[in-house]
Structure 1
Amino acid sequence: MPEGHVLHRLADDLTAAFAGRQVAVSSPQGRFASEALLLDGRRVERARAVGKHLFVEFDDERVIHIHLGLIGRMTVEAPHPVVGQVRLRIATPEHVADLRGPQGCRLTGPEAERTMIARLGPDPLDPCAEPARALDRLSRSHRPLAAVLLDQSVLAGVGNVYRAEVLFRLGLDPLAPADGVSPATWQRIWADLVALMAEGKRLGRIDTVRPEHTPKAMGRPPRVDDHGGEVYVYRRAGEPCLVCGAAVRQRDLAGRNLFWCPACQQGR
């Protein structure tokens, strides 16, 4: 599932291409056809991302709410014929945005948008976010820290990759109870997520290794994975830790794969 940096980058691309422009809106696949008719010819105000949710706002106070889910994808490109099952197309003579395979795509309004956002925790890519809200929710949960970090009502936009990597980078035991996290430790988690996710948005991929652990610095082959980028533990089960050499572990935690180094991650 795309993590928050992907949605923020997409929101910027949509805003750059369509904000202030009258657009043609269609549903080549047909599953958003009646809604598309209501938007066709309207002006886009902006696109914005909050966590893993994308909102495209129009001048008549209608809003398209999109959640990409596991297989959804949206692209902004030069005009071209429709290819494949396109749920939604937004177009001008200069650009087309095509949405395929989303978990959700619905037409709503500003009040519903505000309600949805209010249910989410703070987003590390939001400069106005209030990280103390997340600490308050962490402090009231005895679930494992790694499980709580994926709860979007606690922290918006963080997915499995950033969850695993930030806990490794800070040497934190992923199975320790969330209510044992101190304010100082939480500030370290938040600051690292802000930096990592901002870099992910800028580059369009997730890189989490420090300079001394890059392939060039260590004389090792680069990572080959469809997520791209260099990481410490994510999808590296059974491989040696880049820092200590211990085998990276993997287990199921609340229905998601958790990756961690048992030697490096003993802190709380």
Structure 2
Amino acid sequence: MPEGHSVHRIALQFRRNFVGKRVAVTSPQGRFAADAALIDGRTMVDARAIGKQLFLEFDNALWLRVHLGLYGAWDFAGEITADDTIASAGGRMGQTNQHGTVLDSRGEDSIASMGAPRRTRLRMSESEKEDDSAFVFPPDPIGAVRARLLTDTAVADLRGPTACAVIDERTVAKVVAGLGPDPLVDDGPEAEDRVVRTITSKQTPIGLLLMDQSVISGIGNVYRAELLFRARLDPHTPGKKVPTETAAALWRDWAHLLDIGVRTGQMMTMDDLSPEDWVRAMASREDRHWVYKREGLPCRVCGTNIAMELMGARKLYWCPKSQV
């Protein structure tokens, strides 16, 4: 499932290539046809992400809300401003500056590696893959395309989302109110205080709380495992028993890792790597994480075999010795 950094990067693509332009909206699959008609021919005026939720605003006060879920993806094509961190092979990401500018939720800054628009195709989901082979614009919809957004120069096809609906501002506010803070949207002390209060008031294990989007927005299975290891925190610890300073550190570390994810397109969770190790980690998940998908392998810190179990119907990876 795409985690928070991926959705922020998708919002960036819409801000770069669709915001300010009139958009033809259709549903080649047919399931979204009635909603598509509500925004067809309108101008997109904003694109923003909150956690795993994407909100595209149009000039008639209606919004397209999308949650990709486990299987959703956006396919962009046309004159696309592609991020140079995207490599052309295998959906892997290229090297990028570890200390570059970070986009905020409204796109006030820009990624240094952004280039001029070029004719290309780009798939964005949990990973990203660019295809520079020749094609006729706009390409024909392929497969079950739930929604197609088309301008004079770019097209975005949505496949397999968990949620895809046109909603009004009141409904947007209701959805957002049910979400926990997102560091790229809520970066003040109030957000940290809210997260700390919520975590430390609950009996629920911290391994479940971090996946609860009403507690913190954007964290999925990879970031859950890595954040808990980086905090050396047992996933089974009840929220009430998590020290206040540890809960606050989890929030700040999530902000740090989300920052890296938006800049690089990868869930890089290991710090202080040499330039050579950074390049290797960007190319291979095996060199990018502390515990995720490393069950049975020795812990990088203590040598104990990494454990795997189901928690909240998702695979949890952790070190029984380092995380106590």
| TM-score > 0.5, shorter chain as reference | yes
Partner residue of 1:82 out of 115, 118, 141: 141
Equivalent residue number for residue 37 of structure 1: 37
When structure 1 is superposed on structure 2, of 123-132 and 157-166 the one drifting more is: 123-132
User: What one-letter code is carried by the residue in structure 2 that aligns with 1:149?
Assistant: L
Equivalent residue number for residue 297 of structure 2: 239
- 2: CA distance between counterparts of 1:104 and 1:215? 40
Q: Deviations over 1:157-181 (max 9, x none)?
A: 1111111101111211111111112
Q: Equivalent residue of 1:19, what SS?
A: coil
User: What one-letter code is carried by the residue in structure 2 that aligns with 1:172?
Assistant: L
List, as ranges, runs of 4+ consecutive aligned residues in structure 1 with deviation greater than 6 Å: none
Contact 2:199 2:247 in 1 (8 A): no
Distance 1:224 1:210, change over 3 A: closer
- 1: CA distance between counterparts of 2:228 and 2:269? 11
Q: Percent identity?
A: 41
User: What one-letter code is carried by the residue in structure 2 that aligns with 1:167?
Assistant: L
User: What one-letter code is carried by the residue in structure 1 that aligns with 2:298?
Assistant: P
Over aligned residue pairs, what C-alpha RMSD do you find? 2.0
What is the CA distance between 1:185 and its match in structure 2?
1.1
Distance 1:212 1:63, change over 3 A: closer
1:171 pairs with 2:229: no
Q: Equivalent residue of 1:56, what SS?
A: strand
Equivalent residue number for residue 198 of structure 2: 137
User: What one-letter code is carried by the residue in structure 2 that aligns with 1:256?
Assistant: R
Q: Deviations over 1:191-245 (max 9, x none)?
A: 111011111111111111123599849x99x7457xxx71111111111112222
Equivalent residue number for residue 121 of structure 1: 180
Equivalent residue number for residue 48 of structure 2: 48
Report 1:83-122 matches (<5 A): 83-122=142-181
- 1: CA distance between counterparts of 2:28 and 2:227? 40
Q: Equivalent residue of 2:245, what SS?
A: helix
TM-score relative to the length of structure 1: 0.91
When structure 1 is superposed on structure 2, of 120-129 and 99-108 the one drifting more is: 120-129
What is the CA distance between 1:128 and its match in structure 2?
3.7
Q: Equivalent residue of 2:13, what SS?
A: helix
- 2: CA distance between counterparts of 1:183 and 1:213? 33
What is the CA distance between 1:38 and its match in structure 2?
2.1
Equivalent residue number for residue 59 of structure 1: 59
- 2: CA distance between counterparts of 1:210 and 1:224? 14
- 2: CA distance between counterparts of 1:213 and 1:184? 30
What is the CA distance between 1:124 and its match in structure 2?
2.3
- 2: CA distance between counterparts of 1:165 and 1:88? 34
Report 1:13-32 matches (<5 A): 13-32=13-32
Distance 1:213 1:178, change over 3 A: farther
Higher relative contact order (Cα pairs below 8 Å, separated by 6+ residues): 2
- 2: CA distance between counterparts of 1:186 and 1:224? 27
Contact 1:124 1:157 in 2 (8 A): no
Q: Equivalent residue of 1:114, what SS?
A: helix
Q: Equivalent residue of 2:247, what SS?
A: helix
Contact 2:64 2:167 in 1 (8 A): yes
- 2: CA distance between counterparts of 1:68 and 1:213? 34
Contact 2:290 2:300 in 1 (8 A): yes
Q: Equivalent residue of 1:189, what SS?
A: helix
Distance 1:213 1:239, change over 3 A: farther
- 1: CA distance between counterparts of 2:213 and 2:206? 13
- 2: CA distance between counterparts of 1:162 and 1:213? 22
Q: Deviations over 1:1-52 (max 9, x none)?
A: 1111111110111111111111111111111112212211100011111111
Contact 1:68 1:101 in 2 (8 A): yes
Equivalent residue number for residue 288 of structure 2: 230
